[in-house]
Structures are given as C-alpha cells and as structure tokens.
Amino acid sequence: MNDLLNITLIQSNLYWENPEANRKLFAEKIQSIPEPTDVMILPEMFTTGFSMNAQTLAEPMIGPTLSWMQEQSNKTKAALVGSIIIEEAGNFYNRVLWVEGSSTLHYYDKRHTFTLAGEDKIYTAGTKKLLVDYKGWRIMPLICYDLRFPVWSRNTDDYDLLLYVANWPEKRTMAWDVLLKARAIENMAYCVGVNRIGTDGNGHDYVGHSAVYGVLGGRLTHENFDGEFTETVTLSKSRMLEQRAQLQFLNDRDGFTLD
C-alpha cells in the first residue's frame, strides 16, 4: 500500500467540439508537469466541451482518445482520468475513462444526466458505480451533476478518495465549492473536483475552482484557482485513517437502499 498518493489537477479552457486540438492541448500540459505524479485528472468531456452533439462527436471505446490516453499514461507512468463522449450499442454515454498504461482500463457512465441542458435526452444514464483499487487506494470517480446527489456518492464502500470531473458553469460556482467540501466532510474522504474554464460554444462561462478537500473540509489546493493551472497535491492515507479513527463519524452513518 502506498501511504502517499500524488494527484495532479489540470484545469484548462477547451476547444469547442475539437477533439484533436484538445488532445494536443492536454498532451502539452501533461508533458509540462514538473514533478512525478500518480494520477492526472482532466475535466468532463475534455475533448469536446459539454456538447449535446453526440451523433457527430462520439467515439467508440477503442478509439483515438483512448489510444491517446494510453500513450500519455505510458509516458508518465501515471493513471489518466477524464470523461469523453462514447457510442456503444447505439447509445451515447458521458463516460469517465480511468487509464493505467495499455493494460488497465476502468470506466464509469454518468448516472445523473443534466436535464436542464437536455443531456438526459441525448445520453444514456449509467447504473453502476465504479471503485478503482490503485496503489492501495480505493477511488470513486463521478461526473459533474452527480455532485448534487449525496446518496449516490455515500461512503458505504469505504473508499478513500472521491473524484469529480466537471463542466460546472460560473453562475453556480458557489454550489460547486460548497458541495465539494460537503462531500469530503460527510464521507470522511478526500474529495477532488476538476472543472474547466473559459466560454463554450453555447455561450456558457466557466471559472474552474478545481480543488482538493480533506476529511474535515480544509482545502489542500492553492487559493487563486480561477485561471488555467496544473497543480499536484500529495494525499496521505494514514492521516485520513487517523482522523476517521479519532472521530468515528462513519460508524454512525444511516443504512439505506438506493433504487
């Protein structure tokens, strides 16, 4: 088990509906990471922006972006995480890919499709959670709107790290900040959110606020987080377990059944 886990948040503007340009953009950012890292995290729909144009933009699972992610992961010896538009069996999915080199691939389909933007009419909702076992850490990746639904992310599986990739708009930034912190506190786990910046093709503005929060809600990333940045944060599993053992809040959690 690795006590320490280095995670790198990559907050960036995106080229609207231009996968090739975005892959090039993020390749340059990944290559410029100055220190060794274990996990690199990209935003939601990092190759396209939050687009409903799935018919044109969707890729098969074994497609150019997966190959690109495997290449980047192989070069850095780190896991690479982000969501893209996938077509499978005639359905479209907003799908997180967790890639470890060429040998390991995990994926999660966004459960809570964003009805305000009509995502529910284009994309098929996922039905299963994903727990990734990586270097002795248990990690649960989720996507954007999932952040608003605490029952889905409730820590009944003793995960260590909750991870959200997002295109979360500026007008609801306060909710993003508060909910990321709340998910960390209520689940006594590290919580990471990686959001984009800039303006998308629909005129929606994004100001990032990507961050990492600790078990007690303290932010572990820097204060000025509105622009483009790449930041690596070191998490300590032993420190997290000490806090859980001291406070024992998870022992009092309610049982429930999720339909």
SS3 90: coil
The catalytic residue among 144, 181, 191, 237 is 144
Written as six digits, the tokens of 163 are: 């991870």
Is 44 part of the annotated catalytic residue set?
yes
Query: Would you give the distance in Å from CA 21 to the centre of its chain?
Result: 21
Q: Which two tokens stand for residue 84?
A: 């893209």
- Compute how many other C-beta atoms are within 10 angstroms of the C-beta atom of residue 256: 8
186 is catalytic: no
Provide CB contacts within 8 A for 70, sequence distance 6+. Answer: 99, 101, 102
- Which residue in 209, 192, 85 sits closest to 139, CA to CA? 192
Sign of CA dihedral 59, 61, 63, 65: positive
Catalytic residue among 29, 110, 181, 237: 110
CA–CA gap between residue 73 and residue 127 (Å, rounded) = 27
* Active-site residue, from 17, 44, 100, 119: 44
69: nearest Cα among 35, 32, 26, 16: 26
Helix (H) or strand (E) holding 230: strand 229-236
With a CB cutoff of 8 Å and minimum separation 6, the contacts of 250 are 155, 187, 188, 244
**For 230, phi and psi rounded to 5 degrees?**
-125, 120
Q: Give the catalytic positions in this structure.
A: 44, 110, 144
